[in-house]
Amino acid sequence: MEELKQIAKETRKDIIQMVEFAKSGHPGGSLSCVEIVVSLYYNVMRHSSENPKSPNRDRFILSKGHAVPTLYSVLSRNGYFPREWLWKLRKTGNPLQGHPHLLSTPGIEASTGSLGQGLSIANGIAIAGKLDNKYYRVYALIGDGEMNEGEIWEAAMTAKKYKLDNLCAILDHNKLQIDGSIEEIKAPYPLKSKWEAFGWEVLEIDGHNFDELLTAFSEANKIKGKPTMIIANTIKGKGISFMENEISWHGKAPSHEQTEQAFKEIDESP
């Protein structure tokens, strides 16, 4: 667990550095999903940068594509591409775009960014796995503001219809979206009973707690006959005092001085 916590710290520093250098990006929602993505790539998923197209690999779909700095950091640290690429995020000619792009970035399973589409993509990959008698699992990370999109609920019904027990969705429930709180914009509550009504197994956890995350992923792997939703309660801007729960940090870059302060806070955190 201590190793995972240290990886999460380094990932947070990568996110801040990338967005500062790019002078644009989405730090808030990237910071809220760090422990989720780190858990998947370091402890849960079967994957290898040496054989990135293995037909038996587990797949990860980042439906909330604006949080891609988190994924870029983790992919680079797992050897999918050189870390030097991180520091040219969003620059012309660099393979790391502002949202995931399947054709330009090693390790990316789907191009996303138009919110609402990732769960449908994950469904298709999960259905293909069943048709091909493969035993890989599919993980899809969605945002809570993204639940405003009707396609999410169409995909939720589809996953239940096809009994996609090889699919696990994770909700990054940081409670804020670009225009304000999710309750103000279009309240999705009650979350647990709503997903259960759509036929999903639902687990609710602290999305920054590695113990709870790994236990939930293990439980999801045992569910048969239906998909699993993990509601991960998180904090937007997690780990940096002046970003936490501040909607203004949904999509802006820190100054160099703010980056230095963020690094100091990350290094001093437990």
- For residue 258, what pLDDT is reported? 98
* Average pLDDT of the residues in 183-188: 96
Contact yes or no for 166/57 (Cβ under 8 A): no
Tell me the whole-structure pTM to 2 decimals. Answer: 0.97
Distance of alpha carbon 30 from alpha carbon 218, whole angstroms: 24
- For residue 141, what pLDDT is reported? 98
Question: How does pLDDT run across 24-75, given as a tens digit for each residue?
Answer: 999 999 999 999 999 999 999 999 999 999 999 999 999 999 999 999 999 9
Token digits of residue 52: 């990135």
**Kind of pairing, strands 180-181 and 176-177?**
antiparallel
- Residue 42 CB neighbours (<10 A): 17
Helix (H) or strand (E) run with residue 22 in it:
helix 2-22
- Domain tally for the chain? 1
- Catalogue the E-assigned strands of 90-152: 138-143
- For residue 155, what pLDDT is reported? 98
- For residue 232, what pLDDT is reported? 98
* CATH number for the domain harbouring residue 72: 3.40.50.970
pLDDT band at 4 (very low <50, low <70, confident <90, very high): very high
Question: How does pLDDT run across 255-269, given as a tens digit for each residue?
Answer: 999 999 999 999 999
Token digits of residue 57: 């690999």
Q: What is the DSSP string of 179-245?
A: TEEHHHHH----HHHHHHHTT-EEEEEETT-HHHHHHHHHHHTT--SS-EEEEEE--TTTT-TTTTT
- DSSP reduced 3-state for 88: helix
- For residue 11, what pLDDT is reported? 98
Give me the torsion for CA of 15, 17, 21, 27, rounded to 10°: 30
Q: What is the DSSP string of 38-57?
A: HHIIIII----TTSTT-TT-
- Per-residue buried b or exposed e for 207-236, using 16+ beta carbons within 10 Å of the residue's own CB: bbbbebbbebbeebeebeebbbbbbbbbbb
First to last CA, the chain: 12
**Kind of pairing, strands 167-173 and 228-233?**
parallel
Contact yes or no for 98/27 (Cβ under 8 A): no
Q: Which domain holds residue 42?
A: 2-268
Question: How does pLDDT run across 68-100, given as a tens digit for each residue?
Answer: 999 999 999 999 999 999 999 999 999 999 999
